[in-house]
Amino acid sequence: MDLNIKEMQEKDRQYLWHAMSPYQEEVPSMIVTSGEGSWITDISGNRYLDGMSGLWCVNAGYGREELAKAAYDQLTVMPYYPLTQSHLPAIQLAEKINEWLEGDYVIFFSNSGSDANETAFKIARQYYNQTERPNRSKFISRYRAYHGNSMGALAATGQAQRKYKYEPLGSGFLHVRPPDGYRRPEGMTLEQFNVQCARDIEEMILWEGKETIAGVIMEPVITGGGMIVPHQIYFDEVQRICREHQVLLIIDEVICGFGRSGRKFGHMNYNVKPDIVTMAKGLTSGYLPLSATAVRREIFEAFKDRQPYSHFRHVNTFGGSPAPCALALKNLEILEREGLIERSRILGERLYDGMKDLLDHPLVGDIRSFGFLMGIELVKDKTTKEPLPLPVVTRIIAECKARHLIIGKNGDTVAGYNNVLTISPPLVTTDEDLEFIVLTLKAVINQIRG
């Protein structure tokens, strides 16, 4: 393809509104033209290892012709039909997701993680209305957590910078502190702190009135908010609290799901049995938009009542379209066939082993990993744990890009705490790719001294 690069960059500036990016007329966007495995190529022919899998989603890697063909074949047979009725790919995928969840769930399809969480909130509120507990309408989330960009999902999000200038948002969303073990009070053990953070949820339930709380929503680990990984005892307590107070436990698997954690779903690392599970991203490895809200069958049963307004009055035009469902089925087949779930666990362990000596670096406060996810918290002072200033963090990211490695950070989250580098490469990352990630990132960080 013969492209005028400067012309495309100018058209990009003129016509395209970029996500999460301050306007910078003097800095052209990277225009990506192709991908293969863990690597992407830009319009100028430069190759980069995508250490963020796009937006935490290209689990099976780029350039999968099998996935493109699965979508193409379905499009030639039946391109579209809404799930007000049904079609075969949706039925087959719902069965497969239920198998992966190792439970008894009913699946509602949408387009994105935000959609999936909005669906969960509506289901929970209606469920309690239809089981004669109409005052249960509030949801508890955690500060630093992200659950989506729509008005309800953003209200559940605990990131003030994401909400600024968009409020007021949906009502009925409460927040408690996250189990950030790195910043726990002095003299408190990790286990003690995690128990206290879980019991903050119980305290909120009691202070608000337990008859008013519909659900608790959380990721297995807080990912985009800074890679905050809880101790097992945290989830033991959270699950106990939810059951004791009859509060639905909603697990957001949008990032942690589909092999990313070294298990099929992130919550399986903690032996959690959720009432509702939301998912997106890795479901299709980002190839087409698709999300799902999996609802425990007992909850679904409450919607069978034939009274007016008892059915779930929610629809999504493109949610669960045939082609994304067919592609997702093929994607899950690939993850299973190629052993990419176990590969994720192995890669995560090797990545941590390769990076852990950076804990001796004066600017590295903590390194946290969960499967093939990693967060590196950068600090100005290791004693006070004062976060490293944002310009230095962005300089590290820019230098990694100059060396052909794309990494991320927890951007636009909480003022002063956007200091965590994030790494989430495709699960098809090779041993050579992993070595490149480790050597490049260490070289860049080691040359930075504040």
Nearest 5°: the CA angle 88, 93, 99 is: 135
Choose the final residue of a domain: 316, 337, 358.
337
Q: Which range (23-27, 317-321, 360-364, 431-435) has the least confidence?
A: 23-27
Domain shared by 144 and 215, yes or no: yes
Q: How far apart are CA 336 and CA 372, in angstroms?
A: 16
What is the per-residue pLDDT across 45-57, written as a single tens digit (0 to 9) for each? 999 999 999 999 9
Q: How far apart are CA 227 and CA 286, in angstroms?
A: 21
Domain shared by 104 and 229, yes or no: yes
| Residue 448, pLDDT score | 87
Domain shared by 222 and 309, yes or no: yes
Domain shared by 245 and 159, yes or no: yes
Among 72, 85, 149, CA closest to 114: 149
Q: How confident is the model at residue 2 (pLDDT cuts 50, 70, 90)?
A: low
Q: What is the CATH number of the domain that holds 78?
A: 3.40.640.10
Choose the final residue of a domain: 313, 337, 361.
337
Q: For residue 104, how many other CB atoms are within 10 A of its CB?
A: 11
Please give the structure tokens belonging to residue 365: 């406060």
Domain shared by 150 and 265, yes or no: yes
Domain shared by 199 and 328, yes or no: yes
**Number of domains making up the chain:** 2
Q: How far apart are CA 415 and CA 381, in angstroms?
A: 18
Q: What is the CATH number of the domain that holds 11?
A: 3.90.1150.10
Domain shared by 364 and 405, yes or no: yes
- What is the Cα 298 distance to its own chain's centre? 26
Please give the structure tokens belonging to residue 340: 């990419």
Choose the final residue of a domain: 294, 310, 337.
337
Which residue segment(s) compose the domain that 261 sits in? 66-337
Please check the confidence at residue 127 and state whether its pLDDT lies above 80: yes
What is the per-residue pLDDT across 395-443, written as a single tens digit (0 to 9) for each? 999 999 999 999 999 999 999 999 999 999 999 999 999 999 999 999 9
SS (H, E, C) the chain: CCCCHHHHHHHHHHHCCCCCCCCCCCCCCCCEEEEEECEEEECCCCEEEECCHHHHCCCCCECCHHHHHHHHHHHHHCCCCCCCCCCHHHHHHHHHHHHHHCCCEEEEEECCHHHHHHHHHHHHHHHHHHCCCCCCCEEEEECCCCCCCCHHHHHHCCCHHHHCCCCCCCCCEEEECCCCHHHCCCCCCHHHHHHHHHHHHHHHHHHHCHHHEEEEEECCCECCCCCECCCHHHHHHHHHHHHHCCCEEEEECCCCCCCCCCCCCHHHHHCCCCCEEEECHHHCCCCCCCEEEEEEHHHHHCCCCCCCCCCCCCCCCCCCCHHHHHHHHHHHHHHHHCCHHHHHHHHHHHHHHHHHHHHHCCCEEEEEECCCCEEEEEEEECCCCEECCHHHHHHHHHHHHHCCEECEECCCCCCCCCCEEEECCCCCCCHHHHHHHHHHHHHHHHCCCC
Q: How far apart are CA 390 and CA 323, in angstroms?
A: 41
Domain shared by 245 and 286, yes or no: yes
What is the per-residue pLDDT across 303-316, written as a single tens digit (0 to 9) for each? 998 889 999 999 99
Q: For residue 234, how many other CB atoms are within 10 A of its CB?
A: 24
Domain shared by 322 and 350, yes or no: no
Domain shared by 267 and 173, yes or no: yes
| Residue 25, pLDDT score | 76
Four-CA torsion 401, 34, 287, 163, nearest 10 degrees: 40
Q: Report the mean per-residue pLDDT for the chain.
A: 96
Dihedral (CA of 280, 283, 286, 290) sign: negative
Please check the confidence at residue 1 and state whether its pLDDT lies above 80: no
- Are the C-beta atoms of residues 148 and 178 closer than 8 Å to each other? no
With a CB cutoff of 8 Å and minimum separation 6, the contacts of 416 are 387
Side chain identity at residue 144, one-letter code: R
| Residue 348, pLDDT score | 98
| Residue 450, pLDDT score | 58
Domain shared by 228 and 95, yes or no: yes
pTM here? 0.97
Nearest 5°: the CA angle 35, 220, 296 is: 105
Domain shared by 348 and 260, yes or no: no
Q: What is the mean pLDDT of the segment spanning 199-226? A: 98
Q: How confident is the model at residue 364 (pLDDT cuts 50, 70, 90)?
A: very high
What is the per-residue pLDDT across 227-274, written as a single tens digit (0 to 9) for each? 999 999 999 999 999 999 999 999 999 999 999 999 999 999 999 999
Q: How far apart are CA 434 and CA 450, in angstroms?
A: 26
Query: CA distances (Å), 187 to each of 191, 194, 234, 417, in order?
Result: 12, 13, 18, 23
Please check the confidence at residue 7 and state whether its pLDDT lies above 70: yes
